[in-house]
Amino acid sequence: MACSQRPRERMPLPRNAKMLSTKQSRAGKAGPAAENVNPEKEESCHAKRSSSSPQGGPKKRSAFGDITNARKNQVVAGKKESAKVAPPKAQRAHNTLGVAKNNEINLKKSTKKTPPPALAEPKEDPVPEKSVSVQEPKPPEQRVPAVEDIDKEQLGDPYANAEYAKEIFEYMREREEKFMLPDYMEKQTDISGDMRAILVDWMVEVQENFELNHETLYLAVKLVDHYLVEVVSMREKLQLIGSTAILIASKFEERCPPCVDDFLYICDDAYKREELIAMEMSILSTLKFDINIPISYRFLRRFAKCARATMETLTLARFLCEMTLQEYDYARESPSKLAASCLLLALTMKNLGGWTPTLEYYSGYSAQDLHPLVKRLNFLLTYQPRDKLNAVRSKYSHRVFFEVAKVTPMDMLKLEETLTSS
């Protein structure tokens, strides 16, 4: 396709000269804090020690002065005897025996009512109260649930919107049904799936050179597809549609989107300014300005957070997901299902376990729902049907992206066994 070859010759900067700085800054954008999963903080348990003495309360003589009224009787008796002459030794002994007898009677009466903690039956080996409770099994309502609340750690972050994250993604799941793509290539007389793949490969290079967000690339591809559903176009206009779609997506996603002159330049001045602006108006009016289309990249970041995946595992899943942008057969897949399948394949390739209850809860898909698509993705990764279109592979072969494009695909039989056993 001639139109797709012109912009490759006149990119804003040579690919090799800018690739390192571009991908390093892109890595900063591609790796937000929401994607880097920190390990869980363990709460420290403080043992509550018993206030009773290890020797036992009844064994201590001083406890009698606190529990009985012996001291009170001694004080009262002392007041009465202070005015009289001190009794002889025999009388003092008699008084002492009487006081001891009264103490014994009072002690028996007090133990019949409510025995104080210090007079309870002593244990052979006193154990702190907290250590006993730790050994006992937790009741069912206090056990850790199988489904984890992945948003609770960011409730204090005003930029995370953790309070509304679940509702936001449920809303995006509902909008998926509205933006499901039909097989529009049947009515396109001058455009084929191979031409679309060449266009997407060029759009990946534009995203790299302009250092755009990955969301911009995914949304731009969606805009091209939904526009071609409604409008029959000629191949001469295909690159104009692609560059205008990136311009619109940049205005929607980027803080500082490229200007119109930048897109005219990357198209090798094949189109005029008036044509680009007219195409922008045509795309927006055709789509009725409803361009908040759900994309698989957003779902992938959400599901990776549920799996507490590392940045390397997430990057591998992103590589798989971006490989599908060029393939027309994957354009009609649900974005959320495609993202979940890419993550499941990445987890399987890394031998990091299968589909957890948390992933099933937040994604809405069980592992069995994803198995057919996972096998197709591994087939795509193994046989590489488009060797000449290597923009995605070259991008993810860089060390900034952990060189995930060089990972060896799984054997199909081994993948089948792993998915079946999990």
Question: pLDDT tens for residues 121-135?
Answer: 444 444 444 444 445
- What's the token pair of residue 97? 């025996």
- pLDDT score recorded for residue 261: 95
Q: Which is nearest to 2 in space by CA: 233, 235, 207?
A: 235
Percentage of the chain surpassing pLDDT 90? Answer: 59
**Section 270-284 average pLDDT:** 97
- pLDDT score recorded for residue 159: 77
Residues comprising the chain, all counted: 422
What band does 73 get if pLDDT is binned at 50, 70 and 90?
very low
**Section 409-418 average pLDDT:** 94
Query: Which CATH architecture best describes the domain 295-422?
Result: Orthogonal Bundle (1.10)
Min mean pLDDT across 52-66, 250-264, 313-327 is at 52-66
What per-residue string of b and e applies to 46-56 under the rule 16 or more CB within 10 Å gives b?
eeeeeeeeeeb
- What's the token pair of residue 360? 């099933």
Query: Which CATH architecture best describes the domain 169-293?
Result: Orthogonal Bundle (1.10)
Report whether pLDDT(10) > 60: no
Give the CA count within 13 Å in the CB-facing half-sphere of 269.
Answer: 0
Decide if 346 contacts 311 (C-beta within 8 A): no
The pTM of the full predicted model, rounded to 2 decimals, is: 0.67
Min mean pLDDT across 32-36, 186-190, 373-377 is at 32-36
Report whether pLDDT(413) > 80: yes
- pLDDT score recorded for residue 154: 83
Report whether pLDDT(44) > 60: no
**Section 290-304 average pLDDT:** 97
Mean pLDDT of the residues in the chain: 77
- pLDDT score recorded for residue 284: 98
What does the pLDDT look like over 341-367, one tens digit per residue? Answer: 999 999 999 999 889 999 999 999 999
- pLDDT score recorded for residue 87: 47
**Section 259-271 average pLDDT:** 93
What does the pLDDT look like over 147-170, one tens digit per residue? Answer: 889 988 888 888 788 889 999 999
87 compared with 195, residue with greater pLDDT: 195
Q: How many CB atoms lie within 10 A of CB 396?
A: 23
Q: Phi and psi at residue 245, in whole multiples of 5°? A: -65, -40
Rounded CA-CA distance 95/103 in Å is 12
Q: Where are the domains of the chain?
A: 169-293, 295-422
- pLDDT score recorded for residue 157: 82
Rounded CA-CA distance 107/111 in Å is 6
Rounded CA-CA distance 289/408 in Å is 42
Report whether pLDDT(27) > 80: no
What band does 56 get if pLDDT is binned at 50, 70 and 90?
very low
